[in-house]
Amino acid sequence: MSQALTEAEGVRKFDLDHQNGSFHIPGSSLVRLNAVRAQLCRLGLIGQDKARYEGAGFGNLSMRVADHPDNFVITGSQTGRLTALACPDLALVTGVDVQASRLTSLGKTLPSSEAMSHAVFYRAFADVQAVIHVHSPLIWQKAAALGLAATARHIAYGTPAMAMAIVQKAKDLRARKQALLLVMGGHEDGVIAAADSLEQCSRVLTDALAQATLA
């Protein structure tokens, strides 16, 4: 499938109330995030490439952290070009109103345009500790062959409709005791996973990539 965009990558589709300020997360959490992110970058699932998506960054990670258990930290908008992230490259999401399509955040950078899609996992599942959104043409194209859950093609990323579709699909997966892995049908190459750790999220995604390679 062509890498041409049907809509600009990284465009925010929710109202954002962002406060420019600092927050703290444990150094061990940042180390873990960078280790997982580096692996996904090597696989081309996260990053920035002039040949893909008109050069825009793609993919993002988020996690709950001990200092902010009711909120979550997410990689900043258009940080895919960076080799490793520091705290100023992250945003702390402090509030979400899905129905009103509104999000509040704190940090030196703006949260990813996919922050709404991440937020609904944390709100729906108390045990979810991490969410990763990647771009994989291979998984996306072979979703049906692999039997993966997928949101409808007409639902755009970053919208309340996408958030609600993700929740419903994820609840169906949980009821069947399956991994929380979804293909975003209306977001070219978009795949999102949630789990009890960043490492488990990464395993779910890389396992899907391996299966898609063989399909």
Give me the CATH number covering residue 198. Answer: 3.40.225.10
Residue 11 has what pLDDT? 63
Residue 101 has what pLDDT? 87
d(CA 135, CA 189): 5
pLDDT tens column, 177-205: 999 999 999 999 999 999 999 999 999 99
d(CA 187, CA 189): 6
Residue 5 has what pLDDT? 33
Q: pLDDT over 90 for what percent of the chain?
A: 76
Say how many Å lie between the first and final Cα of the chain, rounded: 16
Count how many residues are written for the chain: 215
Q: What is the pTM of this model?
A: 0.92
Would 7 be classed as within a structural domain?
no
Domain encompassing residue 65:
15-214
d(CA 32, CA 158): 26
Would 5 be classed as within a structural domain?
no
pLDDT tens column, 106-126: 999 999 988 999 999 999 999
Q: What is the dihedral of CA 101, 107, 111, 116, to 10 degrees?
A: -40
pLDDT tens column, 33-89: 999 999 999 999 999 998 888 888 899 999 999 888 889 999 999 898 999 999 999
Would 105 be classed as within a structural domain?
yes
Would 205 be classed as within a structural domain?
yes
Average pLDDT over residues 121-136: 96
Would 1 be classed as within a structural domain?
no
> Which residues, in sequence order, are CB contacts of 38 under 8 Å at separation 6+?
83, 84
Nearest in space to 134 (alpha carbons), one of 63, 80, 215: 80
Higher pLDDT, 150 or 98: 150
Would 70 be classed as within a structural domain?
yes
Would 169 be classed as within a structural domain?
yes
Show the tokens assigned to 147.
């039997």
Average pLDDT over residues 2-30: 74
Would 2 be classed as within a structural domain?
no
Task: Assess whether pLDDT exceeds 60 at residue 206.
Answer: yes
Residue 78 has what pLDDT? 87
Task: Assess whether pLDDT exceeds 60 at residue 3.
Answer: no
What distance lies between CA 173 and its chain's CA centroid? Answer: 18
Number of domains in the chain: 1
Q: State the amino acid at position 23 in one-letter form.
A: F
Residue 149 has what pLDDT? 97
Residue 10 has what pLDDT? 54
